[in-house]
């Protein structure tokens, strides 16, 4: 069974990576690519400045780029949209698709901490997808918005999930992040060559909050953030791809190194889905895995009268809707008693901004005292 998908913002760096990963995919069939109005109407080959180290798939190269609006992809009959839009653009554009009934899986950072938006890693918290029903009730749309976390967070959390059984209480992480994480034009050569930038704007806050939401518990009405104290120090280094993280964790229990090794060895969360192999890449031995706890139908776009009519005109069947069943544990926000909140979980407020824990005081280090080095003039 194939799922027809589209990519919003397909000509950018992240959109190009989506195209590479979707090429010859066993489940997803790419049916639409969108970009700005300037690129709309061109073939993908003409519109994209291709920078990925493999060739543009032949069938994609000749696809016509649509404008990033619901009207632009109305004839594509897609079940699922992958959004690779810049966060500022996504905040304005994604709601229009959601109101038209589309299911959007978004790589953009906007709304990751919204109380009714699932932030998911399929191997870690697939149950959080039930938050979609809460989202639809509160926002009054037939679509569904799902977010994936920040790149550094998605690297750290699977390991933390594997050892959370020992009572995770504190996490301290220091990252060394490649320039690709900032996008093609994110860091200038004069800033990064022969240098390390000891601050990445917004990155630390994302790691400190998103990790707690991913590890939190969904009670049928909302996600309660994990109670661990998380503090991050994020640094940009002059490598092209790949992030290195040094993570220090403290627990309520006193696990031995052998206990931790066994927990990680036996956990499925530490073996996340691998991308398909890239020809000629050193990682060409990677294998494709599919998370057994998720189903393509889970994120199918719901049926609407308008879509049914369009499908009948083509002689095709519309995608099946997401089940409307509710989690049995779900209660209304007004009726839920304080006792229903687990004592080890703390909700920090009712808005994304309020969910951010105050940044803990940090000890002065050489890297912290040289934050201004990122902005200083290059040495002569």
Place of tokens 């790691």: 207
> What does the pLDDT look like over 178-201, one tens digit per residue?
998 877 677 888 889 999 999 999
Strand 243-251 versus strand 168-177 pairing type: antiparallel
Enzyme catalytic residues: 151, 243
Q: How far is the C-alpha of 84 from the C-alpha of 74, rounded, in Å?
A: 19
What is the model's pLDDT at position 180? 83
> What does the pLDDT look like over 132-145, one tens digit per residue?
999 999 999 999 99
Q: How far is the C-alpha of 297 from the C-alpha of 80, rounded, in Å?
A: 10
pLDDT at 317 over 80: no
Distances in whole angstroms, Cα of residue 169 to Cα of each of 92, 229, 254, 345: 37, 6, 12, 11
> What does the pLDDT look like over 248-272, one tens digit per residue?
999 999 999 999 999 999 987 665 5
pTM of the model: 0.72
What is the model's pLDDT at position 53? 86
Start-to-end CA span in the chain (Å): 61
**Residues 6+ positions from 323 with CB-CB distance below 8 Å:** none
Burial (CB count within 10 angstroms: exposed 0-12, middle 13-18, buried 19+), residue 293: exposed
Q: How far is the C-alpha of 164 from the C-alpha of 180, rounded, in Å?
A: 30
- Ordered domains of the chain (ranges, CATH): 1-148+272-344 (3.40.50.720), 151-270+357-374 (3.30.360.10)
């Amino acid at each position: 069974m194939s799922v027809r998908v589209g990519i919003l913002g397909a000509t950018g760096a992240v959109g190009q990576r989506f195209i590479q990963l979707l090429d010859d995919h066993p489940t997803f069939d790419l049916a639409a690519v969108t970009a700005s109005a300037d690129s709309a109407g061109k073939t993908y080959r003409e519109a994209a400045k291709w920078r990925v180290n493999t060739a543009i798939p032949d069938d994609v190269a000749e696809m016509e780029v649509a404008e990033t609006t619901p009207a632009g992809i109305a004839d594509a009959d897609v079940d699922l949209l992958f959004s690779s839009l810049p966060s500022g653009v996504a905040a304005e554009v994604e709601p229009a698709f959601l109101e038209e009934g589309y299911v959007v899986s978004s790589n953009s950072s906007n709304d990751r901490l919204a109380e009714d938006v699932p932030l998911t890693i399929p191997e870690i918290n697939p149950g959080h997808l039930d938050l979609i029903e809460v989202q639809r009730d509160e926002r009054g749309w037939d679509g569904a918005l799902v977010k994936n976390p920040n790149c550094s967070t998605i690297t750290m959390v699977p390991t933390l999930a594997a050892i959370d059984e020992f009572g995770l209480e504190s996490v301290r992480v220091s990252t060394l992040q490649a320039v690709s994480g900032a996008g093609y034009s994110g860091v200038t050569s004069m800033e990064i060559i022969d240098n390390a930038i000891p601050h990445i704007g917004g990155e630390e806050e994302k790691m400190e909050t998103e990790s707690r939401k991913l590890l939190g518990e969904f009670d049928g009405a909302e996600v309660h953030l994990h109670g661990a104290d998380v503090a991050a120090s994020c640094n940009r280094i002059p490598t092209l791809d790949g992030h290195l993280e040094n993570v220090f964790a403290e627990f309520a229990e006193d696990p031995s190194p052998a206990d931790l090794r066994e927990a990680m060895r036996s956990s499925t969360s530490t073996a996340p889905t691998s991308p398909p192999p890239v020809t000629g890449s050193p990682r060409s031995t990677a294998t494709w895995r599919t998370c057994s706890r998720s189903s393509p139908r889970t994120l199918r776009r719901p049926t609407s009268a308008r879509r049914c009519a369009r499908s009948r005109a083509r002689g095709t069947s519309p995608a099946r809707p997401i089940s409307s069943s509710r989690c049995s544990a779900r209660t209304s926000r007004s009726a839920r008693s304080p006792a229903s909140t687990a004592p080890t979980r703390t909700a920090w407020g009712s808005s994304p901004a309020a969910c951010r824990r105050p940044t803990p005081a940090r000890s002065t280090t050489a890297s912290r005292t040289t934050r201004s080095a990122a902005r200083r003039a290059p040495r002569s």
